[in-house]
Chain A
Amino acid sequence: MSSVILPELGEGIEKATVACWHFKEGDQVRLDDDIVEVVTDKATFNVPAGASGTLTKILVQDGQEARVGETLGAIEPQ
């Protein structure tokens, strides 16, 4: 299982809001695809897939906030 984690975005940034998932649960994703866009004040940031496979779980939905390091979803690698 490859976790989709909200990475470090910069000094003083502790959380971000999920703006939109570009894929649904069950969709196939490829390594480095932008799979979820998060937003923090003046910036949007796309989190890339860490593996190719199936997006099995979305844990933080659109509009919800997440902390840096939090797991946003999970990919079952091929």
Chain B
Amino acid sequence: MGRYVLRRLLQLIPVFVGTTFLIYWLVWAVPGDPFAGKCGERRCPDAYIDKMTELYSLDQPLPVQYFKYMSNLLQGDFGTTFGGQDVGALIAAAYPNTAKLAVVALLVEALIGLTAGVLSGLRRNGFLDNLVLVSTLFLLALPTFVTGFLLQWFLGVKLGVIRPTVSAEANFSELIVPGFVLGSISLAYVARLARTSIAENRRSDYVRTAIAKGLPMRRVVGIHLLRNSLIPVVTYLGTDLGALMGGAIVTEGIFQINGIGRTAYRAIVTKEGGTVVSVVVILVLVYLFMNLLIDLLYAALDPRIRYE
């Protein structure tokens, strides 16, 4: 187990260097001088362009630029935006909000999705099963921004039961609706995955044996059936958490949440190459660790899986 983790951690290093270099190269290779559009409908003064080019070492060869960037990064310096703000501080302010939103979305997915999936899987073709199938189909068909705008308008503007946007503090109570919007599509997947998995395992030998032994139904479902049926669902939730941690551009935008997705999107639009790279570096790290965590979680769920 320990060796496996160590090997995985070592593998992260080349992946990390490779992805960050690619991103660095791509971001600055995007066509269009980053400073060409900064002065509106007129050419920027040479003085301004010269100063910015020098500040971001854009006049140097790419490997040199990258090396400079990485050596600063390793010392904890994420660089500054064109406006002079510290990128590290921007990320530090945005990340907790994204994490909070991801947790809310994941809870929504797990609680609603799993309950619906288990109940409908146990009683296939019943009324509840059909209801779950139809409503999840409905959720799957709606893009996030439709659900988002609809709920914002209906609950926020029309009924006035929630604030249409999330405040700077981003309390958990404010994040319930955005979390539901963000998790809605995954919720449908989780429900359907759980339903199929439960329905399949319901007929397997070990469940029949457990019933024949005379175990109470609650124990059969809760211990024997659920644990084995959860593996695909946990895999899905795990990768989804990785994706959620990467920020939600659409949801964060609609509900005005100061998260990492919005920060990245803004940086891309304003051609803040340095900010984009720094945000993505963090995302790469988060994603790599999430994947490792999920792989380790398998072993805990399924004793047949062992890591050497």
- Real binding pair: no
